[in-house]
Amino acid sequence: MRMAILAAAIPDEIYTGLFVFVMAAFAGLEVVRRVPQLLHTPLMSLTNALSGIALVGSLVLSGAEYGKFYTWLGAIAVTASTINVVGGFWITDRMLKMFKPRAKVVKAGEAK
């Protein structure tokens, strides 16, 4: 039985997966290179929120009826990744609202 598993050829999905990984990494580097230093902190908190994509795996684990152990692990993982996603997006929005062009700052100054 075990031999059969080990002997199995590398399935196609893995090649597709590697392909997707490499392409996404290059696309990622290309777009991120164009982000000015001005926005590097929001960039990091945004990508941090995106890394909460672990949520996808966690949801299945916590919702499928695999048994108590798995449901619990899944629920903790959903909680952790939701904190990551919600907190990350929230603070990125708060930060980006702070970046104001000169015209807006001057207006706010006059209004005082």
How is 23-75 classified by DSSP, letter by letter?
Answer: HHHHHHHHHHHTS-GGGHHHHHHHHHHHGGGHHHHHHHHHHS-S-HHHHHHHH
Stretch 36-65: interaction string toward other proteins, x if CB under 8 A: xxxxxxxxxxxxxxxxxxxxxxxxxxxxxx
3 binds other proteins (CB under 8 A): no
Query: How many Å apart are CA 14 and CA 49, to the nearest integer?
Result: 26
107 binds other proteins (CB under 8 A): no
Interacting positions 60-89 with other proteins (CB under 8 A)? 60-66, 69-71, 73-89
27 binds other proteins (CB under 8 A): yes
Size of the site for other proteins (CB under 8 A): 93
